[in-house]
């Protein structure tokens, strides 16, 4: 038996909107730790890892570890029927081939339940090692989204370079080139508006903008985004989900032929 | 020219 009650149901709606275009089908894993997902896109270029910790739910009952295969597009269709202020409860019985999403309006005057068919998904779980990154950039998530959107109108790839000068996002295309440099800026009053660059050593990597733009669909989840870069690893683009966990996107770099 | 890297060449199945 599984019963997870999330008072801030809009978080789950936002999570789905941020992953449904990247991943078609995925297993949601439920354990004492929380509600999680790890999935790759169909071409194995990007990986998404989501964790919503059990403590973040108002009520969290998960009698035994359960993996529920869901079509994310269908799940999104159902969650779109929940109001932004609704409380969402996810329910499943042991051995059942369905999951139920219950939506309660804040005033309890409307209660809806949507039952969705589960699916069997053969998914490969990957081990993501703890790593030291050459550079970690934290910046406003809206600023990062704007940069990715702007650069994708010029080129298909972005070179992200971190030096002591700052972080530079560059692209080139048929019509020309573009460079955007963001410098460390901690003087602003609000910490979520600051740009913080931790650099152990300079790093420069090239990524497909199509994926970066897809990751920025998670922007409504967090004011800040953290970009961790290492020349030996996929980049990690992380959005913290307030008091609950995170959504992390890993993207393999372009490699010189 | 560059080619697209693959997640599976960085992270191993567990």
Which pLDDT does position A187 carry in this prediction?
76
Which pLDDT does position B9 carry in this prediction?
94
pLDDT for A162-197, tens place per residue? 998 899 999 999 999 999 999 999 877 888 889 999
The verdict on a CB contact (< 8 Å) between A234 and B7 is: yes
Of A92, A83, A87, nearest to A30 by C-alpha is A92
The verdict on a CB contact (< 8 Å) between A257 and B8 is: no
Average pLDDT score over chain A: 96
| Chain A CB contacts of B13 below 8 Å | 124-127
Residue A126 has pLDDT above 90, yes or no: yes
Average of per-residue pLDDT across A210-231: 97
pLDDT for B1-14, tens place per residue? 789 999 999 999 98
Average of per-residue pLDDT across A43-50: 97
Task: Name the pLDDT band for A94 (thresholds 50, 70, 90).
Answer: confident
Shortest distance, CA A58 to any CA of chain B (angstroms): 32
Which pLDDT does position A190 carry in this prediction?
83
Shortest distance, CA A178 to any CA of chain B (angstroms): 19
Q: Closest to B12 (Cβ–Cβ): which among A47, A126, A233?
A: A126
Which pLDDT does position A120 carry in this prediction?
95
The verdict on a CB contact (< 8 Å) between B13 and A206 is: no
Which pLDDT does position B2 carry in this prediction?
83
The verdict on a CB contact (< 8 Å) between B11 and A250 is: yes
Residue of A nearest to B4 (CA): A254
Size of interface A-B (CB pairs under 8 A): 58
Average of per-residue pLDDT across A140-166: 97
| Chain A CB contacts of B9 below 8 Å | 252
Shortest distance, CA A127 to any CA of chain B (angstroms): 6
| Residue where the block lists tokens 């733009």 | A213
Buried b (16+ CB within 10 A) or exposed e, A221-244: bbbbbbbbbbeebbbbbbbbbeeb
Residue A208 has pLDDT above 90, yes or no: yes
The verdict on a CB contact (< 8 Å) between A252 and B7 is: yes
A146-to-A189, A217, A240, A253 alpha-carbon distances in Å:
21, 11, 19, 21
Task: Note the ipTM here.
Answer: 0.96
Four-residue CA torsion sign, A40, A41, A45, A46: negative
Q: What are the residue ranges of helices labelled H in A62-220? A: 72-79, 141-152, 209-215
Q: Closest to B14 (Cβ–Cβ): which among A47, A127, A256?
A: A127
Task: Name the pLDDT band for A253 (thresholds 50, 70, 90).
Answer: very high
Q: What is the Cα–Cα distance from A62 to A139, expressed in whole angstroms?
A: 36
Residue A54 backbone class (left: φ over 0; alpha: ψ -120 to 50; beta: rest): alpha
Which pLDDT does position A122 carry in this prediction?
87
């Amino acid at each position: 038996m599984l019963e997870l009650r999330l008072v801030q149901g809009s978080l789950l709606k936002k999570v789905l909107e941020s992953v449904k275009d990247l991943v078609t089908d995925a297993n949601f894993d439920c354990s004492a730790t929380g509600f999680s997902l790890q999935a790759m896109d169909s071409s194995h270029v990007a990986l998404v890892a989501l964790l919503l910790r059990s403590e973040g739910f108002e009520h969290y009952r998960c009698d035994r570890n359960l993996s529920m295969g869901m079509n994310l597009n269908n799940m999104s269709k159902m969650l779109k029927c929940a109001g932004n202020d609704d409380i969402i409860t996810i329910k499943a019985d042991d051995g059942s081939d369905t999951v139920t999403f219950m939506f309660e309006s804040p005033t309890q005057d409307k209660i809806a339940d949507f039952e969705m068919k589960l699916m069997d998904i053969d998914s490969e779980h990957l081990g993501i090692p703890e790593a030291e990154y050459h550079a970690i950039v934290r910046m406003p998530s809206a600023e990062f989204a704007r940069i990715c959107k702007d650069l994708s109108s010029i080129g298909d790839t972005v070179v992200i370079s971190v030096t002591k000068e700052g972080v530079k996002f560059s692209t080139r295309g048929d019509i020309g080139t573009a460079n955007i440099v963001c410098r460390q800026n901690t003087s602003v009053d609000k910490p979520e508006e600051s740009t913080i660059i931790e650099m152990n050593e300079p790093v420069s990597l090239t990524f497909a903008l199509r994926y970066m733009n897809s990751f920025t669909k998670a922007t409504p989840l967090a004011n800040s985004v953290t970009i961790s870069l290492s020349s030996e690893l996929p980049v990690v683009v992380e959005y913290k989900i307030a008091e609950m966990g995170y959504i992390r996107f890993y993207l393999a770099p372009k490699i010189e032929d | 020219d560059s080619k697209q890297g693959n997640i599976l060449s960085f992270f191993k199945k567990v």
